Amino acid sequence: MFNKVTHVLFDLDGLLIDSENYYTEAFSNVCAKYGKEFTWEVKATLLGFQNRECAEKIVQTLDLPITTDEFLTQCQEQYEILFPKVELMPGAKTLVEHLHNCGIPIALATSSSEDSVQLKMAKHQKFLSYFHHLVMGSSDPEVTKGKPDPAIFLVCASRFPDKPEPEKCLVFEDALNGVKAARAANMQVVIVPDPRVDKNLLQNATLILESLEDFKPELFGLPPYNQCACK
């Protein structure tokens, strides 16, 4: 049993939706134009960062003969083709619907921009409607720094009407930078990492899962799946 929580914050990419594979495909396609390979070793250093930060790191690391803005423009062309295909991750719909139906305040805290989220979630609008609010770091003026800075989670928590204390918030993440950000915000954090991530790097996470399907809400004082007092 962990500390009881009252509010839940979710990352999006790689946690609730399977978009990480499409990001990889988009980055790989652009890099390949210049004879460069976008490897897992490069990708592992980017997880959890905002879009521009990722682009800057890729251009610099792979020594691409283009600017960050040019890289972003070429990636956007890829996104418009790939992102509408995005599906929900296993267990995402069940967990989010359960918390919503039980009256647990939930919100989205993603490093993606508003345009990116709408593109990826075009066919998942009902799913998005379950969240009290969405904080999209790359386009939100209040999110002054990206993960691993705690800003996005602190801003997200502050937008609930009852403004819960950080200790009462549980974060769901898939990336190391997300874990660092949540812990810096003094929040508990459940991580569902890419299986290639070194588990030794995730020791600060409150709980490590292989899938959202494995999560037991009652561990954090939330209503269990089989006895929800729905509102």
- More confidently predicted of 150 and 198: 150
Per-residue confidence (pLDDT) for residue 11, from 0 to 100? 97
d(CA 195, CA 213): 15
Check whether 106 has a pLDDT greater than 60: yes
**Which domain covers residue 56, as residue numbers?**
20-85
Check whether 231 has a pLDDT greater than 60: no
Compute the CA torsion angle 65, 83, 114, 76 (nearest 10 deg). 20
Task: Give the domain CATH number at 80.
Answer: 1.10.150.240
Total number of domains constituting the chain: 2
Same domain? 95 vs 208: yes
Per-residue confidence (pLDDT) for residue 120, from 0 to 100? 95
Same domain? 24 vs 12: no
Contacts of 135 (CB under 8 A, 6+ apart): 107, 108, 109, 110, 143, 152, 155, 156, 159
SS3 190: strand
Whether 123 and 129 have beta carbons less than 8 Å apart is answered as: no
Does residue 1 belong to any structural domain of this protein? no
Same domain? 95 vs 196: yes
Neighbouring C-alpha atoms within 13 Å toward the C-beta of 153 = 33
Does residue 225 belong to any structural domain of this protein? no
As a whole number, mean pLDDT of residues 190-205 equals: 91
d(CA 30, CA 75): 7
Boundary-marking domain end, from 39, 62, 85: 85
Question: Chain-wide mean pLDDT for the chain?
Answer: 93
As a whole number, mean pLDDT of residues 203-208 equals: 96
Nearest Cα residue to 12 out of 149, 168, 124: 124
As a whole number, mean pLDDT of residues 85-95 equals: 96
SS3 3: coil
Same domain? 95 vs 145: yes
Boundary-marking domain end, from 51, 66, 85: 85
Nearest Cα residue to 127 out of 91, 156, 152, 158: 91
Reading the block at residue 213, the tokens are 């399907």
Q: Which residue has the tokens 């296993």?
A: 90
pLDDT, tens digit, 9 for 90 and up, residues 24-45: 999 999 999 999 999 988 988 8
- The size of the chain, in residues, is 231
pLDDT, tens digit, 9 for 90 and up, residues 112-155: 889 999 999 999 999 999 999 999 988 889 998 889 999 999 99
Same domain? 75 vs 103: no
Does residue 2 belong to any structural domain of this protein? no
Boundary-marking domain end, from 58, 85, 112: 85
Per-residue confidence (pLDDT) for residue 17, from 0 to 100? 97
**Catalytic positions, written as ranges:** 11, 13
